Chains A and B, each alone.
Chain A
Amino acid sequence: MKSAVSRALVFAAAALAALAFAAPASAQLHVDVNQGVVQPLPIAIPDFLGGPVGAQIAGVVRADLNRSGLFKALDPKSFVDQIRDVNVPPNFANWRVINAQALVTASAANQPDGRLRVDFRLWDVFGENQMLGQQYSTTPENWRRIAHMISDAIYQRITGEKGYFDTRIVFISESGPATHRIKRLAIMDEDGANPQFLTNGSYLVLTPRFNPTAQMIAYMSYAENRPRVYLFDLETGRQEMLGNFPNMTFSPRFSPDGNKVVMSLEQGGNSDIYVMDLRTRSVSRLTADPAIDTSPSYSPDGTQITFESDRGGSQQVYVMNADGSNQHRISFGGGKNGTPVWSPRGDLIAFTKQDGGAFRICVMHPDGSGERVITDGWEDEGPTWAPNGRVLMFTRSERNGRGAQIWSVDITGRNEQRVLTPGAASDPAWSPLIQ
């Protein structure tokens, strides 16, 4: 009897306790936040410890992250604290004061073996924890690449997406009067540093494209007055005509595995798309239409190819399987649409839209849906993707005839920026991340 009573009491107490805990949960406020802002993340990057090279590396990292539009590297003059030891956690309150949300502390030092070693840490200023800690070691003259790799690491940790700073751009450098334009193949780092000419300008070159290892460039050249697709080996400087075609070949692009080149072949005013296997040099034809089919570009998985064709009466974007089957038009957003390029991420195709007298860069999904205009220039054309599929470069010409320039833009349409080139430049191609 007594135990029954005490059991009942225990039960009642338990029920009460359950109620007491359950009540606040059911009454808890639930806030749905579905509007945000798109603004750069304030990040503090003090000069790295270790003298001038530390300051130089920090400067490159700040410039990289600023250029991305997703970060705002705070002015070092605003810092109220100084980093003295990268192995001690910073005083976070001193960095919150200047509204830094992330902080980089790093040191650079020359090692006894002559190599340069850089240790760096990325801190979450509000969460007060370390987000990343890495160490790089290289020959001192490679300090810029270390800077770009650190930028890539920060970008990836904070956006979830791989970076694109340790990359190169190959482009056509233009000089001389409009009547006698000299076009040379040129290459530079993504931030415009280390520009170099690869050809001497004695013949016209067009449409350079990187292979997946960033070691080989396919392009069209008028060398010896025979307009053909060539390959340029960056390591050896060797150039090679690709195949032995009777007529003009142009608009080349590598397959994602680097084993094939897809391109256009012109025959009697008609051009069709062909693919050449670089290992066997065998060629197969993918389109057979009396219209002009050109600008082929593989999907990142290599199963499909997007291209432009005027078979329907005006230039439009099409998609087909990699074997040439199932060719169908995907651009229905008005105007003429060409130069499609499949995003390395696979989710979008960038292209040039000609409508109302203007050329603009657009993106759409591979099924043609979700078309968006993302640049607002007068003559923007020839998009190329950053390896992370987040940023595009393109050629911009202005009405005043100042010559072509290379610009970049985020796929959201924000952060249009001019890419620094020595003189006029066009037809950029973005490399994959350097291995």
Chain B
Amino acid sequence: MSQSLARKRSRISLASRAGDRRSPLAWAGSLLLHGGLIAATFFTFTHSLDISDESPPSIPVDLITIGEKTNIAPTARPAPQIRPEPVEAQAHPLDVQTPVIPQQEDQAEPAPDESPSEPALKPPEPTPVPQLKPQQQPAPAKPQKPKSDQFAALLNKLTSAPATTSNAKPGTRTVKGIGQMNAMTMDLVDALRNQISQCWTAPVGAPHPEQLIVEMEVFLNPDGSVAQPPQLTADSAAAVASNPFMRAAADAAKRAIFVCAPYKLPADRYSLWRDITVTFDPRKMLGAD
């Protein structure tokens, strides 16, 4: 609209200045100016296109696929792969030359109680060699399968995979940076949760396992491998320093992160999962406590 007005105005001014006398010059000038104007029009036009493209984030493509992506849920744990090179290139400068910690030295030594068989005993019969029965070997194998069922029944608060899908708000337009659990990232959260769960040995047998909640920041490479060792958040690090059960729980959580890598996640959205926070919370796995 504004361009056509400008064109009209320039044509009027040319006509008034040159009149009818020098029409070839007027033609040339007119052509030149018109050409310039057209060129200018192109320039402004492309520029305005740029702006209009930038204002809404180019994410609607992802929105369409959310429903499906959330449903890929139970991703099988990636088969352990032989990694030709260590996860981290920079090896820890371990000070192995330091002498072994001698904190337990001599603890095993005195063992005054090692002699319950000594002659002071009453007439006990000579120490029998344990005749190990043949059926002792199969024993441990047998209970395995039924026990796992029973364990599930015992810890009867075990819930099936969290149905996070129900929280999705399909069709809601997301705004940049709205938070972690929006429709844009829910599928990533689901995928990560499902993969990590396969590798996490929860501290269910520890005393007060409900208190052993570990939070850490995890850094991933574009191929889904772990970029650097997970970092405990300040709260978790403080708890680990004072509680051996927390230390064990934090170690188990770190192992889960390493063992489950590489993670299968959409490469085109690497920026969203490059740096994530993971909370390991055993409370839902506990029984009627």
Query: A interface vs B, CB < 8 Å?
Result: 23-24, 26-39, 41, 70, 87-89, 92-93, 96-97, 99, 101, 115, 119, 121, 124, 126-131, 133-139, 142, 145-146, 149, 153, 156-161, 187-188, 192, 194-200, 214-215, 234-239, 345, 347, 365, 369-374, 376, 389-390, 410-418, 420-423, 434-435
Contacts and interface: CB of A to CB of B under 8 A. Distances in A.
Contact of B111 (A138, A374, A416): A138
A195 B249 CA distance: 37
B285 interface: yes
A128 B189 CA distance: 28
B5 interface: no
A369 B247 CA distance: 28
Nearest to B111: A142
Interface in B129-187: 129-132, 136, 139-140, 143, 146-148, 150-151, 154-155, 158-159, 161-162, 177, 179-181, 185
A137 B109 contact: yes
A368 to B, nearest CB: 12
Interface in B207-232: 207-208, 229
Tell me what chain B mostly uses at the interface: helix, strand, loop, or mixed. loop
A234 B203 CA distance: 37
The 6 A-B residue pairs with the shortest CB-CB distance, nearest first, are A160-B248, A36-B202, A126-B258, A36-B200, A160-B245, A237-B121
Interface stretch (B11-19, B28-36, B39-47, B269-277): B269-277
Contacts, number: 288
B125 A197 contact: yes
Contacts of A420: 130, 132, 136
A432 B46 CA distance: 83
Contact of B122 (A115, A129, A239, A414): A239
5 contacts: A37-B198, A145-B114, A237-B116, A345-B207, A376-B150
Contact of B258 (A24, A97, A127, A411): A127
Given A36-B282, A412-B155, 4 more contacts: A31-B193, A38-B201, A96-B83, A160-B246
B24 interface: no
A356 to B, nearest CB: 16
A34 B114 contact: no
Contacts of B197: 33, 35-37
Given A31-B193, A137-B106, A374-B154, A412 B122 contact: no
A37 B276 contact: no
Given A26-B177, A160-B247, A31 B101 contact: no
